Amino acid sequence: MKISFKHILLSLSLALGAALLPSTAMAQTGEKTLGFAGGYASYNGGGYADLYFQYTFAPHLRIAPEIGYVFRNEHKSAFVCSVDMQFPFRLARGFNIYPLVGVTLNSWSYQHHHDDDWDDSDHATRGGFDFGGGFDVYLTRQLKLNFQAKYSLMNDTGGWFLNMGIGYNF
């Protein structure tokens, strides 16, 4: 069985979260979170990173805008911007699960190879919808891990975004 860096990182994060779980909190109305996430984008088979903000304005409703960059792979890269609505539900102390829906705008850059020259490039900007879900693991009142999977439904450039992030609650 092949063990990848992603599997090791995921296992360590879950173990840390489980160890700290007894001293954790859950999402409260008015909670704001600012965080960083990284993961995998299926459209180009590469990695991506984003900054996100979450604001919980009702017991089971929060808005989550994010902006990020999909790193160049297979001659494709992108800037992504999404605004998702998440519906968190507490499963256990310090552990929330949520479905999400939202809108997204992605601007993809394509680099073409012509006679040993990489200067030729095209762009495609597409809007679409996000569908998915995730879960939060509260490490402390101020720190949480999140794991999320969503599908961005767009013409020509749709794909999965899988990520893991860490956020600061204030």
pLDDT per residue over 28-62, tens digit each? 788 999 999 999 999 999 999 999 999 999 989 99
pLDDT of residue 5: 64
pTM: 0.78
pLDDT of residue 17: 52
pLDDT of residue 31: 93
pLDDT of residue 28: 79
Specify the residue for token string 């680099």: 111
What type of residue is 65? P
Q: Are strands 61-73 and 76-86 parallel, antiparallel or unpaired?
A: antiparallel
CB neighbour list of residue 1: distance below 8 Å, 6 or more residues apart: none
Q: How many DSSP H helices and E strands does the chain contain?
A: 1, 9
What is the distance between the alpha carbons of residues 149 and 163, in angstroms, rounded to a whole number?
A: 7
